[in-house]
Amino acid sequence: MSPSKVLLHGFVVLILAWLIIPVLIILPMSFSGARFLAFPPPSWSLRWYESYLGSAAWMQATRVSLIVGVCSAVIATIFGTAAAYALNLTQSRLVRSLQALLLLPLIVPIVITAVGVFLVYAQVGLLASMTGLILANVMLGLPYVVTSVLVGLRKFDPTQEMVSRSLGMNRWRTFFAVTLPQIRPSVISGLLFAFISAIDETVVSLFISGGEYQTLTKKMFTALRDEIDPTIASISSLLTTISFILLMLAALNARNTDRSQGRAT
């Protein structure tokens, strides 16, 4: 290896360490026995996990976030898959131009989105409600599903659908029997992305959630702004563990995609 290559690889290793270490440092902090954030912790304990799991308020916020995450991811996946299917098949230019509209939630700065949703919800009385939170996260999750499913559909040969329909299956059954099994990995990855984006969403829920229906992220944000409570470290560790498991699932899912493509070609 030439010296310049060694230098380059060394630089990359440093950057990767810089990316990973802040995420990992939370783990030991969450087992600290001290109230203040010293590293390494002076003593070890599970008290911050107890203070999280034993708190009714934190548990309620966690429940709200999980319900919002699951419901909005499922709805966004159904709406998004239908939309991607239409965008992929259509010949009409008008319909295709609507694609940019579906990506809009990724482009608009999140604070503006939050203010806008707040305006609408204040009119129709959806502030501080479960329905409001789910709908807002469906909107935010749609671009991930549409993008991911579109990529999957591009690799799918639409003549297979025509064959199935010419053999007498209707459109609906053709989709579930022929198309969906082949694009399943991209639908699943869209679902995972929508779920993660809903669980992680903070700014919109700062504006629209409240009372009984406060999300975990809103509660964490206010806790972080007001005082640094080590309970956050235990929640963060749990959240990171969940993300890690989901990332592994996504990686397995991607490997299946490669395999099913290998079979098709």
Partner 1 sequence: MTKSTRNPSELHERREQRLMLLLLAPALLVIVVLLVLPLLWLAWQSIWQDGRFTFAHYERFMTDSVYWLAFLQTFRIAAIVTLLTVVLGYPVAYVAAGAPQRWSILILTMVLLPFWTSVLVRAYAWLILLQRNGIINSALTGSGLIDAPLRLVNNEFGTVIATIHILLPFMVLPLYATMKKIPGELTMAGASLGGSPMHVFLRVFLPLSLPGLIAGMVLVFVLTLGFYITPELLGGGRTYMVSMLVSRNIEVYNEWGAASSISVVLMICVFLVFRLASLLIPFERIMGTR
Name which of residues 242 to 261 contact partner 1 (CB under 8 A): 243-244, 246-247, 251
Query: Which span sits near partner 1 by CB under 8 A: 19-27, 50-58, 160-168, 180-188?
Result: 19-27
> Minimal CA–CA distance to 161: which of 146, 145, 183, 144?
183
d(CA 95, CA 92): 5
Binders in 124-183 for partner 1, by CB under 8 A: 135-136, 138-139, 142, 146-147, 150-151, 171
Q: Is 85 in the site for partner 1 (CB under 8 A)?
A: yes
- CB-nearer residue toward partner 1: 171 or 259: 171
Cα dihedral 212→216→217→218 (10° resolution) = 20
Q: Does 187 bind partner 1 (CB under 8 A)?
A: no
User: 208: Cβ–Cβ under 8 A, 6 or more apart, which residues?
Assistant: 114, 117, 118, 121, 126, 127, 128, 132, 133, 136
Told to check if 215 binds partner 1 by CB under 8 A, we report: no
Of 42-50, 53-61, 182-190, 241-249, which part binds partner 1 (CB under 8 A)? 241-249
* In the complex, least distance from residue 85 CB atom to partner 1, rounded to whole angstroms: 6
Residue 41: asked if its preceding bond is cis (omega within 30°), the reply is no
- Kindly state the smallest distance separating residue 183's Cβ from partner 1, in Å: 15
Under rule CB under 8 A, residue 74 binds partner 1 = no
Of 29-48, which residues contact partner 1 (CB under 8 A)?
Answer: 29, 36-39
Please give the structure tokens belonging to residue 147.
Answer: 């993008």
How many C-alpha atoms does 12 have within 13 Å on its Cβ side? 6
